[in-house]
Amino acid sequence: MKKSEIKRISEKLISKPKLVWDAIDKKEKKGVFGFDKEYQHFLNKAKTEREAVKIISEIALKNGFSPNPPSTHPIKLMKTFQEKLIALSISGRKGINEGINLIISHLDSPRLDLKQNPLYEEVDLAFMKTHYYGGIKKFQWLTRP
């Protein structure tokens, strides 16, 4: 095969990634920034799992969820456990045997925690040993004194 033929075929077959940002209109871009502000506010307020559960509970209550199941449909139920976990459910009109949809998400708070014996001292220099959580990679943090 000639180079020109390979190039022609590859242009047809190989996907070229496009930025969504270039494909949406001005109204949708405003919506993106609106969501961005709300999400930034959430991240600033929810620095730990407990804070996140508290804020999610407040938002759920404002949107009709209740810790006690109401008798009318749709039932919007909210349950928390040890202030670290939250489950939200909306019942359908049909029974569970007809099928259910589940959306499950993990709640995490990126942070560094000190180990039980965190301090290492030598030559007038202290080094704190840490555990890292929430997707933090070692190379993303200063790990050398």
SS3 letters for the chain? CCHHHHHHHHHHHCCCCCCHHHHCCHHHHHHHHHHHHHHHHHHHHCCCHHHHHHHHHHHHHHCCCECCCCCCCCCEEEEEECCCEEEEEECCCCCHHHCCCCCCCCCCCCEEEEEEEEEEEECCEEEEEEEEECCCCHHHCCCCC
Q: Are residues 88 and 132 in the same domain?
A: no
Q: Are residues 38 and 78 in the same domain?
A: yes
Q: Are residues 82 and 41 in the same domain?
A: yes
Q: Are residues 103 and 132 in the same domain?
A: no
Q: Are residues 68 and 133 in the same domain?
A: no
Domain membership of residue 81 (yes or no) is: yes
Q: Are residues 92 and 115 in the same domain?
A: no
Query: What local confidence, expressed as pLDDT, does residue 145 receive?
Result: 38
Query: What local confidence, expressed as pLDDT, does residue 144 receive?
Result: 41
Q: Are residues 58 and 30 in the same domain?
A: yes
Query: What local confidence, expressed as pLDDT, does residue 125 receive?
Result: 75
Q: Are residues 102 and 115 in the same domain?
A: no
Domain membership of residue 78 (yes or no) is: yes
Q: Going residue by residue through the chain, which has 145 residues, state the pLDDT in tens, using 9 for 90 and above.
A: 788 888 888 888 888 888 888 888 989 988 888 888 888 888 888 888 899 999 999 999 999 898 887 777 778 889 988 888 899 988 888 877 887 777 777 777 666 677 766 566 677 777 777 766 666 666 655 544 3
Query: What local confidence, expressed as pLDDT, does residue 59 receive?
Result: 93
Q: Are residues 27 and 98 in the same domain?
A: yes
Strands 76-81 and 85-90: antiparallel
For residue 132, give its domain range: 110-145
Query: What local confidence, expressed as pLDDT, does residue 92 receive?
Result: 80
